[in-house]
Structure 1
């Protein structure tokens, strides 16, 4: 192996030698062979010039004095090279091994090289390195997109649970202007939403979008012609660009975006490492700030930032954005019904199509705002989406005044049917028929009214239709409700009064439902299901007085203690249900979970708001109190809750721990524990449950 040293290397050897460093150490410092250093030191000594004088020589003179020197044994090296030329001719032969040829070389050579050097010389003589190509990217030509391999996280404010989120990265290769956005998944809806936001960020559309072969973009990967996902293809059509997926297992096809992902780790992930985010919006807001700084960084060689290159070079070559953003499409199949409508299953509604397509199989394309109906790849109807369930959406251009879906279904047919049951039925049916633009819809509703004579009789039906005409309530549902509730015989004023009472009851029931939902009970506890047995030490009269909720009027508390399974939680929730039924705002909470939630509120700055919310709750139920010892923050939180509610609102506390042990569980300074217990106990009704677990009794019965 040849070691050629330039004049600067020679001067370094001389300098180190003059400093008293050994040849071995010089070789180690300069990273060259010790034999090479020894050889040059011999040449220095044999020259007519002292070492100090050699240091003053210019490089040209020194190079002329000490020409390049090789340490290779040329005869030995030539012998190896000749053998390697012969061996390489068999390189492609089946069964070729280097070990076989090395052994053959050792048998032939006078002074053979070792096996490692044998392989090293072969690889130097016949290198198999794979070159890479520098691509020149055309401005506005492509947008590279990919998802980062590493994920970010958001925190559930209620439970503290970490949720991993995906990070979408896009880059325009000419300017390397980068876009980053977090989303919940790599599913089709999130992926296309990220692409939409990316194009909006760039303010234009490239000629092609280069994506990876993820499932949301490609149905089937191919080296030559990939099968693009239908929704992604429709997205490209909307933005007037094409999709060009990379080849599978070929990261060099999108090397720029792969490199951009690594830079995103450094410039965005790393600054976010100590931050906590409770929503995707907060995370994307912070990413946007860091992304702005990243795109403003100067390239070391180009002396411009990404955003400068984008604004100066690339932006002008992007195609303009369409006037509307892309809406993700979904697809359904539907057969045109006899009335000329297709049934749209997601909303359980009906959309009209031209009557000539009755009985045809169609395909429905729909977005969040639009419904299109296609037959044989041709659009035959388009409607604004109506989210009202059971509605009929009609385009008058689809109606036929001459065509009848059934030969005997016409207005005269229904008039004759209605007249049999009374004059008011006839008038009601006529009003229903004239109220519809599309007669067949009126036919169905009129038929429904007429058929009510079967369960209720013609006389009652005529009376109900009379009342409907008086109150302008001519509809199938209202007439049926009158008959079901026997309201057809009441006067108009009585009917309106009953209607008002009914509406008031509905509002009250809705309020109670809302209070029960907000209370977040774990059990549907009822006072009627409580068991009053002597062994439970539960006095029926005492609990009945509590069920009147008088203690809430007096702003008193209730403490229920007992072993596990004795029914503490059930009793407290039964009182809570009674409070909700009386229209009082109630909240049930497991103590440990509530305090964990309030700790998170201290972090995000909403603690005061939550404490005030608890203070406004008329009845607060703290279940499983004292199962976990209180730390300093928990004691402060408990003091805040109890102090805010003392003398103002009522609290129910259930615990497996006897009250006598609460002082030790609360812990801390004695004054705090005394203050808390004084506010809880001195104005409370106490129930001490006894006996074995009710759950064990249920198991024995089974």
Structure 2
């Protein structure tokens, strides 16, 4: 079925009809008809969750019938025709006459000459030579896994472990990102994209991945490709469209293919004589080589990948969202008679109307979302601890622990909140940066935070507000908070 919702979503983001057609595996004419019809009856994004593709099909095209013009017609053997046309004296007219005779003997309805030639033309276009395509700055990024792996040595056993290198390339400037992972599974694939966007400090509108299972659900047909649900969810979070490369068509992502070779030479091979005992050590060395690689001058034009990216491409990238994408795992559960479901041994309540119904559960490190027929019916914070813990009991324990930590921290301003910070123009505060700091990601990444400014500018209030965020995100920010760590947070919030 046509992806009506996806077409309207991408149109609202300002994508061209051609790019929407590529992303949704439909013709540009179909995209144009859907957008025109939606404008006529005043349908626009965002849509309600109950407005599925099937519902939209009935609204946009209520009298749409199925085309059956060529359903009972015999199609020509294009491989045979292509070979016959290479012979002297053989023309399309002659082959069409022979084709009509074959259809008459087989009792099939033949195509008219114009349609016969159309099918031959479409077959020829698939085999035409390609030409260089000029890309717009900030429009597209191509991603792939490098063919040659790096290696890590296990410090305990001495075992040599492969590390697979992810490569992302901005198609206009050739600015490259690379990072090593232990495997090429879904979590590594999504994490690599999140880190890539943060390295670029922006988002390109289009992502062109390889035809791998972590990106595309394989169906054997280019026009029926479906983007992996987790990958699509990640692209929607960053406001990007995914246009996968076709199977065995490396020219669909030539920049990634070319830079994979460069990364294998100037990074992987350059590190071949060094020994690494952890993934962090390997990625630190890759990052140093990557800086030099991007700073190298082009051979046939002025500048470098880095200079071209900073001057012409980075200003046109879409800004990063306030929070990074959190990888989710989808599970299915049955609501029991106690109106709870069990996820990893923890119990989560569901409205009693759904007892004995199967529900879909979206699981992240921080939250549990429960859906029935694509409608969210409940949401809970993720529980950790002994098995069988119920959400109400967990919330009570968490609130008691939060009050105890705040009391022991002895904040000067315990009522401070990030939500109450004044962002008036005179203070020159970066709201998106403060919101990202409020997620406490800098702690999990082992980074320090220093707040500087003139006396009376509100440093103490901001420090206390960010300290409160640490306690409220205590499970993900500091898994096991000791008295020493609480004292460190107290000391930080008292600094001027």
* TM-score when normalising by structure 1: 0.38
| Pair 396,274 (structure 1): closer, same or farther in 2 beyond 3 Å | closer
Q: Return the offset for 1:396.
A: 12
- Residue 386 in structure 1 maps to residue 383 in structure 2: yes
Inter-partner Cα distance in structure 2 for 1:396 and 1:270: 51
2:350 match: 353
1:280 match: 279
Inter-partner Cα distance in structure 2 for 1:286 and 1:130: 43
Whichever structure has more helix as a proportion of its residues is 1
Cα-Cα RMSD: 2.5
| Pair 159,343 (structure 1): closer, same or farther in 2 beyond 3 Å | closer
Q: Return the offset for 1:159.
A: 2.0
1:267 match: 266
| Pair 88,332 (structure 1): closer, same or farther in 2 beyond 3 Å | closer
- Residue 175 in structure 1 maps to residue 173 in structure 2: yes
- Give runs of aligned pairs for residues 22-41 of structure 1, distance below 5 A: none
| Pair 362,131 (structure 1): closer, same or farther in 2 beyond 3 Å | closer
Q: Do 2:208 and 2:242's aligned partners in 1 also have CA atoms closer than 8 Å?
A: yes
1:228 match: 227
Q: Do 1:218 and 1:227's aligned partners in 2 also have CA atoms closer than 8 Å?
A: yes
Which of 173, 195, 205 is equivalent to 1:207?
205
CA deviation vs aligned residue, 1:435-471 (integer Å, no higher than 9, x gap):
99xxxxxxxxxxxxxxxxxxxxxxxxxxxxxxxxxxx
CA deviation vs aligned residue, 1:383-438 (integer Å, no higher than 9, x gap):
110112210003999xxxxxxxxxxxxxxxxxxxxxxxxxxxxxxxxxxxxx99xx
Q: Do 2:367 and 2:379's aligned partners in 1 also have CA atoms closer than 8 Å?
A: yes
Q: Do 1:219 and 1:227's aligned partners in 2 also have CA atoms closer than 8 Å?
A: yes
- Residue 301 in structure 1 maps to residue 300 in structure 2: yes
Inter-partner Cα distance in structure 1 for 2:381 and 2:232: 23
Which of 365, 382, 386 is equivalent to 1:368?
365
Inter-partner Cα distance in structure 2 for 1:278 and 1:91: 67
2:247 match: 248
Inter-partner Cα distance in structure 2 for 1:225 and 1:320: 32
Higher relative contact order (CA 8 A, sep 6+): 2
Q: Return the offset for 1:88.
A: 5.9
Inter-partner Cα distance in structure 2 for 1:358 and 1:390: 19
- Residue 325 in structure 1 maps to residue 337 in structure 2: no
Which of 113, 131, 134 is equivalent to 1:133?
131
| Pair 291,92 (structure 1): closer, same or farther in 2 beyond 3 Å | farther
Inter-partner Cα distance in structure 2 for 1:359 and 1:396: 24
- Give runs of aligned pairs for residues 52-131 of structure 1, distance below 5 A: 89=88, 131=129
| Pair 130,353 (structure 1): closer, same or farther in 2 beyond 3 Å | closer
- Give runs of aligned pairs for residues 525-544 of structure 1, distance below 5 A: none
Q: Do 2:149 and 2:268's aligned partners in 1 also have CA atoms closer than 8 Å?
A: no
Structure 1, gaps ≥5 residues long? 1-86, 94-128, 398-434, 437-702
Q: Do 1:146 and 1:169's aligned partners in 2 also have CA atoms closer than 8 Å?
A: yes
Inter-partner Cα distance in structure 2 for 1:140 and 1:395: 49
Q: Do 2:148 and 2:268's aligned partners in 1 also have CA atoms closer than 8 Å?
A: no
Residues paired across the two proteins, number? 276
| Pair 371,395 (structure 1): closer, same or farther in 2 beyond 3 Å | farther
CA deviation vs aligned residue, 1:28-87 (integer Å, no higher than 9, x gap):
xxxxxxxxxxxxxxxxxxxxxxxxxxxxxxxxxxxxxxxxxxxxxxxxxxxxxxxxxxx9
Q: Return the offset for 1:301.
A: 3.1
Q: Do 1:352 and 1:395's aligned partners in 2 also have CA atoms closer than 8 Å?
A: no
Inter-partner Cα distance in structure 2 for 1:395 and 1:208: 45
Q: Do 1:166 and 1:186's aligned partners in 2 also have CA atoms closer than 8 Å?
A: yes
Larger radius of gyration: 1
Inter-partner Cα distance in structure 1 for 2:196 and 2:147: 19
Q: Do 1:167 and 1:180's aligned partners in 2 also have CA atoms closer than 8 Å?
A: yes
Inter-partner Cα distance in structure 2 for 1:149 and 1:91: 46
CA deviation vs aligned residue, 1:249-302 (integer Å, no higher than 9, x gap):
111111111000111122112220110111111000000000001101111333
Q: Do 1:217 and 1:228's aligned partners in 2 also have CA atoms closer than 8 Å?
A: yes
CA deviation vs aligned residue, 1:193-237 (integer Å, no higher than 9, x gap):
111111111111111110011111111153224111111111112
Structure 2, gaps ≥5 residues long? 1-85, 93-126, 398-496
Which of 133, 151, 154 is equivalent to 1:153?
151
Inter-partner Cα distance in structure 2 for 1:266 and 1:336: 54
- Give runs of aligned pairs for residues 408-447 of structure 1, distance below 5 A: none
2:83 match: none
Inter-partner Cα distance in structure 1 for 2:325 and 2:224: 25
Q: Return the offset for 1:155.
A: 0.6
Q: Return the offset for 1:141.
A: 1.4
